[in-house]
Amino acid sequence: MGTCRLCGKRSIIISDVIGFCANCIREHPQETLKPISLIRYRERSSFGLPHKPPKGGNVRCSFCVNQCELNEGELGFCGRFVCKNGKIKINAPSPGLTALTFYHDPLPTNCVASWICPASTSEGYPEFTCTEGPEVGFKNLAVFYQSCNFDCFYCQNWHFRDKTTHRFYKSEDVVDAVDEKTNCICFFGGDPTPNILNSLDIAEKACNLKKEFLRICWETNGSVNWKFLERALSFAMKTGGCIKFDLKFFSKSLNLALCGTDNSWTLDNFKKAALLARKRPHPPLVIASTLLVPGYVDSYELEGLASIIASVNKDIPWSFLAFYPTFILNDLPTTSWDHAKLAERIAKKYGIKNINIGNVHLLSNSYKISP
């Protein structure tokens, strides 16, 4: 049972780690964001990462929404870029290397899009898959980037922040892993956003292999500079792949509080991408997912996100994922069935047709949400 330090409300779905309820963060960002930033300061310092996007430096990085302004030797918020000799450079032992890991997953995988993509369904057959149904016997090449331009307190892959785990590879190393049984590549992490040029390079080299089926997909917070996202969309479009947008919050203040960044580029990019997706509805080019953080991704946030999706393209599939306590946000329960059903009702109310509740095994029975 947590207590909001501003309004005094007590509930099992208020986090004492955060210290404030969703309403107070939305309505009183001036009072709530500063104390929350101190939590982030402690967390980021332990990994040697800036606690907020640096501002006031001489050189601006334009890869993502953070638009870090760096002085000589200063690291960007994502830790992927550094200012060297007055230029934005990749922070790696030598040029051309990127901190990532890659591995094969047998298809069909548990990816966010699996309920609606050619790897597991008849979507996209026969143009983008050789099987009408699950691609049994084939593989996905998962490319996990060890950096991110968001800092979610509930990050499920938070270990990538530890630099001692970083491994560096060239694009060619990843492309060499594409074999005859590899039917798709998925870039995730961390996030592909700070690594977008590397992912586009891998995508291009992989397409040059001229495999009959090789779908290229990105799973992302969607906050990359649109000019790069447009190129990713074009690879996904022609290969039968997709862009999976993780729509975390509708309200900027909640995104700033729980994820450390502004969500305006995510929402703007999503709208543009969802419009483009009308050109290739099958298999879906753009897929939305939202992690149902108890108490924080509440009906207000879900209504806001639903209204955005519905305003551009009601055919965009939307998947709801269950939260489990992890990393900093370790004092909330798992998502309840009631919460998942609420999300589903809201999506339906806005006319969104393809809805999925993912990782249902994590959903908990209902709990009393207010005293």
Shortest spacing between CB 215 and Zn ion, in angstroms: 44
Q: CB-wise, 56 or 371, nearer to Zn ion? A: 371
Q: Tell me whether the omega of the peptide bond preceding residue 294 falls within 30 degrees of 0, making it cis.
A: no
Residue 174: how many CA atoms within 13 Å on its side-chain side? Answer: 32
Q: CB-wise, 28 or 271, nearer to Zn ion? A: 28
Q: Which residue has the tokens 């998942």?
A: 340
Q: CB-wise, 22 or 322, nearer to Zn ion? A: 22
Label residues 167-202 b or e (16+ Cβ within 10 Å = b).
eebbbeebbebbeeebbbbbbbbbbbbbbbebbbbb
3-class SS at 130?
coil
Shortest spacing between CB 10 and Zn ion, in angstroms: 10
Closest to 2 (Cα-Cα) out of 332, 337, 364, 334: 332
Q: CB-wise, 12 or 202, nearer to Zn ion? A: 12
Shortest spacing between CB 295 and Zn ion, in angstroms: 10
Shortest spacing between CB 290 and Zn ion, in angstroms: 22
Q: Which residue has the tokens 């501003």?
A: 6
- Note the residues at the interface with Zn ion (CB under 5 A): 4, 6-7, 21, 24
Closest to 230 (Cα-Cα) out of 163, 277, 189, 183: 277
Q: CB-wise, 7 or 342, nearer to Zn ion? A: 7
Q: CB-wise, 153 or 187, nearer to Zn ion? A: 153
Structure tokens at 166: 């970083």
Structure tokens at 159: 């270990």
Shortest spacing between CB 23 and Zn ion, in angstroms: 5
Shortest spacing between CB 206 and Zn ion, in angstroms: 48
Q: CB-wise, 20 or 265, nearer to Zn ion? A: 20
Cα–Cα distance for residue pair 190/247, rounded to 1 Å: 15
Shortest spacing between CB 188 and Zn ion, in angstroms: 34
Helix (H), strand (E) at residue 197: helix 196-207
178, 214 Cβ separation under 8 angstroms: yes
The Cα-based distances of 193 to 63, 116, 253 in angstroms read 8, 24, 21
Q: CB-wise, 24 or 78, nearer to Zn ion? A: 24
For Cα atoms 334, 274, 129, give the angle at the middle one, nearest 5 degrees. Answer: 85
Shortest spacing between CB 21 and Zn ion, in angstroms: 3
To the nearest 10°, the Cα dihedral for 21, 156, 223, 20?
10
Shortest spacing between CB 9 and Zn ion, in angstroms: 5
Structure tokens at 265: 């580029």
3-class SS at 196?
helix
Shortest spacing between CB 340 and Zn ion, in angstroms: 24
Q: CB-wise, 145 or 249, nearer to Zn ion? A: 249
Structure tokens at 209: 């292999």
Q: CB-wise, 21 or 328, nearer to Zn ion? A: 21
Q: Can you spell out the DSSP letters for 44-68? A: HHHTT--SS---S-SEE--SBTT--
Q: Tell me whether the omega of the peptide bond preceding residue 317 falls within 30 degrees of 0, making it cis.
A: no
